[in-house]
Amino acid sequence: MGSSAMEALTGISEKITNERGHWKEVILKNKTFHLMITFNPSYLIRFPENKKHSWEDLKKIRDKIKDLNLKI
């Protein structure tokens, strides 16, 4: 998710670099969803040095899926 999606879903208008890598909870129609803020892929194409951060975010997402015993 990039900064536009982050702001639309969470209402957070901070810099994405400050918010990425942290779990947020979003409630939609009385159901809570876990949300990981991370960089947009087009940003990573322009700034490949930040891929390492997105890789860490993806590993956190993988671990959350395992912890919640979700089937994908």
Q: For position 53, what pLDDT does the model report?
A: 95
Tens digits of residue pLDDT in 16-29: 999 999 999 999 99
36 is in which domain, residue-wise? 3-67
Please give the tally of structural domains in the chain: 1
Does residue 16 sit within a domain? yes
20 close to 1: Cβ distance less than 8 angstroms? no
Residue found by looking up tokens 């129609």 in the block: 29
Residue 34 belongs to some domain of the structure: yes
72 found inside a domain: no
The pLDDT mean for the chain works out to: 91
| Whole-Å CA distances, 62 to 13, 14, 49, 67 | 26, 25, 22, 9
Asked whether residue 37 is assigned to any structural domain, the reply reads: yes
**With bands split at pLDDT 50, 70 and 90, how would you rate the model's confidence at 4?**
confident
In a domain, 21, yes or no: yes
